[in-house]
Amino acid sequence: MLSLYRPGTSPVHRARAGLKLAGLAALGTGLFAVPRIEVVLAALAAVLATGLLLGRLPAGALWAQVRPVWLLLAGLFGFHLLVTDALTGTVAVLRLLALVLAAAVVTATTRVTELVAVVEWLLRPLEVVGVRPARVGLLVAMTLRFIPVVAERAARIREAQAARGASGVRLGLLVPLLVQVLQLAHTLGEALDARGADDVPVRRPRRA
Amino acid sequence: MKTRDLAYVALFAAIVAVLGQFPPVPVPGIPVPITAQTLGVMLAGSVLGARRGALALLLFLTVVALGVPLLASGAGGLGVFVGPTAGYLYSWPVAAFVIGWLTERFWRRYNLAWALVANLIGGIAVIYAIGIPFTSLYADIPLSASAVGALAFVPGDVVKAVAASVVAVAVRRAYPVIELPTRRATAG
Amino acid sequence: MRWGRPGAGAAGTAPPLPRTDVELREVTHAYGDRTVLTGVSLTLTESRIGVIGANGSGKSTFARLLNGLVVPTAGTVLVDGLDTRTQAREVRRRVGFVFQDPDAQIVHPTVAEDVAFGLTNQGVPAGEIARRVDEVLVAYGLDGHRDHPAHLLSGGQKQLLAIAGVLVMAPQRVVFDEPTTLLDLRNTRRVARVVDGLEQDVVVVTHHLELLAGFDRVLVFEDGRVAADGTPAETVPWYVARCG
Ligand SMILES: Nc1ncnc2c1ncn2[C@@H]1O[C@H](COP(=O)(O)OP(=O)(O)OP(=O)(O)O)[C@@H](O)[C@H]1O
Ligand SMILES: [Mg+2]
């Protein structure tokens, strides 16, 4: 599965993941607390400098993450021109652009495993209520592992249905796909047990 | 959480990802093409119930946040979580939870009508109730403007709620996963 | 060809693997109201045990009882004297399980990560994990695929990976539930050779009767009971005749 991470050795790559995420959160809070054009422009410049100069990322790596929202941002600016004024619109749009770019920098310079470690660290306080942070890594790995499996089963069901004359009936695809996946989940649960993933005490017999 | 629940959660996160890769369907009379990803949100709640459904969506969003481009738009990474429509993403686990919670309440008499109630409330009302104010705050536009912008998606979402309900009822008949505490536990 | 025991150090220096015996006492199992195994009492000590029988006769349920994946609704299953009901974790360390569908038991996206999974669960130190994973990947011809995505492997390679992921944990007995059903002839033979060469004791559930040629004992299941029990020469022709 293709991740948006771009390997590198720059100071931004080497900075701790927790620090980068904290920076992102601080930026988000700050930009909304102080909605002024000079602050927003400075933030935008700082983010671009961090990504392109300090982090030596290709511009394409950042653009890849701006592309999905750029039309929305343009529409938003148009809306502000009509309803409020150009300055408010510029602040609103550039603020979002700066945030999206900053997030793109973090994503492109931080390994998935490091981010998982931060998520696990963030979840640690929840251990007292029974959450097991170490499970996050396993769940993420399992999701990535089973995306191609599910996609393949969907393709196979579609072929089987096409062979029997069905065309593009997507609901008819979903029911068998879900049932197959649920059966797969049942066996997968057993396989996890068989390979020692359950360190919880054994279930008691429900009926003696 | 039992290991089997881990399997359900991970596999449903994978399903939501795969549904996002289905090509959008243009429907006559509906302004924007329908993507299947929020169908996954509704199905997660309807099939797995509140807790596992919500966790499946939390997991899906976590994998997206880690930089895997799994959203229907082809987007991924942290950027989408700070973009103007991030509120809709944040609403997904809540929506799955509400749908699952309602489905569990309706489980004994579950049929197309109850499924629709759950999916319309959880899959549309909840998602818009979180997404619209978020966009309004974030993009600094009035609530009404944000709501009008969202209107274009309502017909498609109603179609999806109907589809999810039909599928959920059929899946319940073939392979029921939700177990009510009072029902006798099955071994194995 | 004999495969070295994974994780046992240099070939030839390992002490003989301890045997694992399984005893079933009056075991009955029901899913809900549906009883699928009735009063099965057996002691499994042989090294090569086959299980055959019609679809739905209870073979997979029997197999799952052997390592505590399923606990009996009545009766007791003892693995080296350990009750699967109360000591499942210890039991599963001794008895490994390989499923029919490798897709359902490969949990990590890439080959080496997946083989390491069980060892991580056992809390094995990282250095030792790396060493044992290496050994197993070499033994199963997967060392060239270490960082490959698991879903790009062929069906036969996936099944070898699934087997590698179980054997790396050094169980003493391995239960296979139809390990070759999804495979072509070539991969079936390959998996059969691997099973044959294992130092571990095995229980193999299968519809491929030819796999059982050199086995010590074969159980024939019929409607949740053991209908025949003996050497392959005694039981297999009997079973074939009954299938009409
Ligand atoms: N988890 C389950 N819940 C309910 N019924 C089950 C479950 N697993 C198996 N059964 C039923 O128990 C009976 C025995 O199943 P089992 O899987 O043990 O048979 P089998 O001999 O392995 O068959 P096959 O050759 O088809 O694999 C079957 O009728 C099956 O439908
Ligand atoms: Mg079976």
pLDDT tens figures, C35-80: 999 999 999 999 999 999 999 999 999 999 999 999 999 999 999 9
pLDDT given at position C100? 92
CA distances (Å), A184 to each of A181, C105, C149, C180, in order? 5, 9, 19, 18
* Residue range A73-82: mean pLDDT, rounded: 86
Between B1, B71, B77, which is nearest A104 by CB? B77
pLDDT given at position A70? 83
pLDDT given at position B158? 94
* Mean residue pLDDT across chain A: 86
* Residue range A137-156: mean pLDDT, rounded: 92
- Interface A–B counts its CB contacts (< 8 A) at 203
* Residue range B59-77: mean pLDDT, rounded: 87
- Of B46-55, B63-72, C30-39, C126-135, the range with the lowest mean pLDDT is B63-72
Say if strands C95-98 and C173-177 run parallel, antiparallel, or are unpaired: parallel
* Residue range C72-93: mean pLDDT, rounded: 94
Most C CBs within 10 Å, among A150, A200, A202, to test the C interface: A202
Determine if ligand 1 sits within 6 Å of the CB of residue C33: no
Q: Which atom of ligand 1 has the smallest separation from the CA of C61? A: 18
The CATH code of the domain that includes B148 is 1.10.1760.20
User: Residue A2: pLDDT band by 50, 70, 90 thresholds?
Assistant: low
Contacting residues of B for A100, CB less than 8 Å apart: 79, 82-83
Q: How far is CA B166 from the centre of its chain?
A: 15
pLDDT given at position C111? 92
pLDDT given at position C180? 92
* Residue range B84-108: mean pLDDT, rounded: 95
pLDDT given at position A208? 36
pLDDT given at position B31? 66
% of chain B beyond a pLDDT of 90: 64
B19 C-beta neighbours (distance < 10 Å), count: 23
Residue nearest to atom 7 of ligand 1 (CA): C31
Q: Closest residue of A to B142, CA-based? A: A83
pLDDT given at position A172? 82
Query: A31 versus A184: which is more confidently predicted?
Result: A184
* Residue range B147-166: mean pLDDT, rounded: 92
pLDDT given at position A64? 81
* Residue range A142-170: mean pLDDT, rounded: 85
**How many domains is chain B built from?**
1
Residue B186 located in a structural domain: no
Question: Residue B52 is part of which domain span?
Answer: 3-174
Query: A76 versus A153: which is more confidently predicted?
Result: A153
Instruction: Show which subunits contact B, needing at least 3 CB pairs below 8 angstroms.
Output: A, C
User: Residue B173: pLDDT band by 50, 70, 90 thresholds?
Assistant: very high
- Contact across the interface for B7 and A73, Cβ inside 8 Å: no
Tokens of C26: 């009056």
Complex ipTM tops 0.90: yes
Which residues face C225 on adjacent strands?
C222
pLDDT in tens, A10-62: 999 999 999 999 999 899 888 888 889 999 999 999 999 999 999 999 998 88
Of B175, B115, B17, the residue nearest A151 (C-alpha): B17
Tokens of A193: 């047990």
Does residue C73 sit at the B interface (CB-CB below 8 Å)?
yes
Residue nearest to atom 17 of ligand 1 (CA): C60
pLDDT given at position C10? 42
Is B186 exposed, middle or buried, given 0-12, 13-18 or 19+ CB atoms closer than 10 A?
Answer: exposed
The DSSP secondary structure of C172-239, one letter per residue, reads SEEEEESTTTTS-HHHHHHHHHHHHH-SSEEEEE-S-GGGGTT-SEEEEEETTEEEEEE-HHHHHHHH
Distance CA C176, CA C101 (A): 11
pLDDT given at position C59? 97
User: Residue A186: pLDDT band by 50, 70, 90 thresholds?
Assistant: very high
pLDDT given at position A33? 85
Residue nearest to atom 10 of ligand 1 (CA): C31
Of C139, C186, C185, the residue nearest C161 (C-alpha): C139
Does residue C141 sit at the A interface (CB-CB below 8 Å)?
no
Query: C190 versus B116: which is more confidently predicted?
Result: B116
pLDDT given at position B182? 60
- Of B7-11, C6-10, C35-39, C120-124, the range with the lowest mean pLDDT is C6-10
pLDDT given at position B187? 46
pLDDT in tens, C158-201: 999 999 999 999 999 999 999 998 888 988 998 899 999 999 99
> Distance, in angstroms, between A34 CA and closest chain B CA?
13
Domain map (residue ranges) of chain C: 22-243
Say if strands C74-79 and C95-98 run parallel, antiparallel, or are unpaired: unpaired
Distance CA B113, CA A57 (A): 52
Residue nearest to atom 30 of ligand 1 (CA): C56
pLDDT given at position C14? 57
- List, in order, residues 6 or more apart from C184 with CB less than 8 Å away: C155, C156
* CB contact at 8 A, B88 and B129: no
- Contact across the interface for B188 and C32, Cβ inside 8 Å: no
Residue B130 has pLDDT above 50, yes or no: yes
Tokens of C28: 């009955």
Q: Which atom of ligand 1 has the smallest separation from the CA of A186? A: 1
Instruction: Please tell me the CATH superfamily of domain C22-243, with its number.
Output: P-loop containing nucleotide triphosphate hydrolases (3.40.50.300)
> Distance, in angstroms, between C103 CA and closest chain A CA?
7
Q: How far is CA A171 from the centre of its chain?
A: 28
pLDDT given at position C43? 96
Query: B116 versus C143: which is more confidently predicted?
Result: B116
Distance CA C107, CA A139 (A): 9
pLDDT given at position A1? 46
Determine if ligand 1 sits within 6 Å of the CB of residue C58: yes
Q: Closest residue of B to A154, CA-based? A: B18
